[in-house]
Amino acid sequence: MNILVTGSEGQLGRALRRASAASSDRYFFTDVAGDDTLRLDITDAEAVEGFIREHGIGVVVNCAAYTNVDRAEDDAARAELLNATAVGYLANAMQKSGGVLIHISTDYVFGGDPYNTPCREEQKGTPTGVYGVTKLQGEEAVRASGCRHLIFRTAWLYSEDGANFVKTMLRLTEEKEELKVVFDQAGTPTYAGDLAGAIFGIVERRLFEGREGTYHYSNEGVCSWYDFTKAIAEYAGHRRCDIQPCHSDEFPSKVKRPSYSVLDKTKFRTTFGLEIPYWRDSLEKCIANIVKKR
C-alpha cells in the first residue's frame, strides 16, 4: 500500500518516518520544506488531488497543522487555511479515491466548559481560541466529506525533535536557579514516538478497516505543567533549579488555555487492543534519547 504522511517535518511526522523504516508499505513524506522530503502544498486542492491520484495513495496521515496557539489569534486566516480548509481538501481527495484519511486533532477542541472528568470523544467541542476553533472545523470538514477516516485527538505533544515543552524545560532548568510553572492547567503529555507507533501499528495491520471514527490518544495519567516540569528536571538530573508552582494569570496569554483537557482513551484501547504507555515512563525514555544525542 502507498501511504502519504503530510507535515512530515514536524514532531509526529519525523517519528512516523522512523517507525515506517521497518514497513513493506511505500511511504511518501511531504511538507513545504525539508531536504529529504517531497514538497506538497496541502492548501492547493488540485495539487493534493493530483498527488494522491498519481501515486495511488491508499492512506493519508495528516500531521500538518498551524500549531502556534498564541500567534493564531493574530493570524486567523492562515490558521483556518491550514487547520480547516486544507484538511477538507485532503478529505475530499480521499473520498474520491476511496482511501482512508487519518487526521490528527487536539485537546484544544475542548476547554470552554469547566470539566473535571476525562473528555470523551462524543463530548461537545467548546474551544476557547482560534487554534481550537480551526482544529474543530477541520474535524467537521473530514466528517462532512464522507471519506473513510480516523480522527485522533492528542495533547501536549513532545519528542526528541524540533521545539517543544520538554526541550525548553530541559534548557531552562539547567540554566536557571528558579523557575515558575503553572499548576492550574491539567492534561496528559504525549510522546510523539508512542503516538507514531500506534498509528503505524494501525496502518500496518489495517486496523482502520471498519473502525472509522474519532478517538483520543495521549499517554496515560494526569499532571499539571508544573508536575511535568518537575519530572523533566528529575530525569535530566537538573537538581539546582528551584521549580515553583504558579497560577496561569501570572503568564498573560492572548488565548485562554484549557484548564482541564485530560482525554479519555477507553474507546481507543478497546477498539484497537493497543496498550498506551504511562506518561512518566515515556518521558524518561525521551529524555534519555535527548541526552544520548548531545
What single letter denotes the amino acid at residue 269? R
State the SS3 of 169-230: HHHHHHHCCEEEEECCCEECCEEHHHHHHHHHHHHHCCCCCCCCEEEECCCECCEEHHHHHH
Separation CA 199–CA 88 (nearest Å): 21
209: left (phi over 0), alpha (psi -120 to 50) or beta: beta
Helix (H) or strand (E) holding 262: none
**Residue 47, C-alpha cell as written in the block:** 495539487
The answer to whether the beta carbons of residues 258 and 111 sit under 8 Å apart is: yes
Which residue is associated with the grid cell 512530515?
Answer: 8
Beta-bridge mates of residue 26: 2
Whether 131 is a known active-site residue: answer yes
Which one is catalytic: 131, 191, 215, 235? 131
Q: Which residues are catalytic?
A: 131
